[in-house]
Copies of this chain bind each other. A is one copy, B any other.
Amino acid sequence: MEIAILLFDGITALDAVGPYEVLAMMPEAHVRFVAPERGAKRTARNGALALIADHTLSEVPRPDIILVPGGPGEAEMRTDPAVLGWLRSAHQTSRWTTSVCTGALTLAAAGFLDGVEATTHWSSMDDLAALGAKPIAERVVVRDKVITAAGVSAGIDMALRLAQLEAGDDVAMAIQLILEYDPQPPFDAGSPAKAPAHVMELVQDRRRRRAGT
């Protein structure tokens, strides 16, 4: 069971690392971190963290599971011919093709989501629609062999669902127990529907300032 996780500069690290911890514990799982070129990829938050891609895309041509994380750097992946070419070829033989957060936009750009229900970070639903998918506000969306997850932390839930599909309920629950994934956030503010309006406004303000608009 070969699992390829795409890395790139400007990635949101948790998009990749959450699912990694889950999927790497499946029986016979071999995770490969891949990129067009080997080496350190800096994360989005001021580049304080670098994750290393040990393998080039061409070294992992036919993974059983493809995982595309998101992050600000995803905008470049979406138009990178090397990434799109690899995805289109690997998708022909993959068992599962998956994304976390804005990674769904890259899957859409590769043509995997034309007219297909999928999800992404709540702030990128319009972008996902513009790329031809049918965005739905669910935590994890499974359609045939394509699985998309909502923003960032949703990758953990997606990977547990995938472990369930691939290895069964008991293995998925065992992984959840080992990772002690018994979430108890101090607030219930993790989605636009649940966050207080003034917090939503804070986040929108921050996004507008960053976009310079």
Q: Taking beta carbons and an 8 Å cutoff, which residues of A are in contact with B?
A: 12-14, 17-18, 20-21, 24-25, 30-33, 40, 45-46, 48-52, 54, 101, 121-122, 139-140, 150-154, 156-157, 160-161, 164, 169-174, 176-192, 194-196, 198-200, 202-203, 206
CB-CB < 8 A to A33: which residues of B?
A: 48-49
Q: How many copies does the complex hold?
A: 2
Closest to A22 in B: B14
Q: Which residue of B46, B170, B181, B203 contacts A199 across the interface (Cβ within 8 Å)?
A: B170
| Given contact pairs A17-B13, A48-B30, A49-B33, A182 touches B194 in the complex (Cβ within 8 A) | yes
Min CB gap A6→B, angstroms? 13
Cα A18 to Cα B183 with chains together (Å): 12
| Given contact pairs A156-B185, A196-B173, A31 touches B45 in the complex (Cβ within 8 A) | yes
In the complex, the 4 A-B pairs of residues with the closest C-beta atoms, listed nearest first: A151-B180, A182-B190, A183-B183, A24-B45
Cα A184 to Cα B12 with chains together (Å): 20
CB-CB < 8 A to A45: which residues of B?
A: 20-21, 24-25, 31
CB-CB < 8 A to A18: which residues of B?
A: 14, 17-18
Q: Is the CB of A180 within 8 A of B152?
A: yes
Cα A25 to Cα B152 with chains together (Å): 14
29 A-B pairs (CB sep. < 8 Å)? A14-B21, A30-B46, A32-B48, A49-B51, A50-B51, A101-B180, A122-B180, A139-B184, A152-B179, A153-B179, A153-B180, A153-B183, A154-B180, A157-B185, A160-B187, A169-B187, A170-B199, A171-B202, A172-B187, A173-B189, A173-B195, A174-B189, A174-B199, A176-B185, A177-B200, A181-B190, A182-B190, A183-B185, A183-B190
Min CB gap A51→B, angstroms? 6
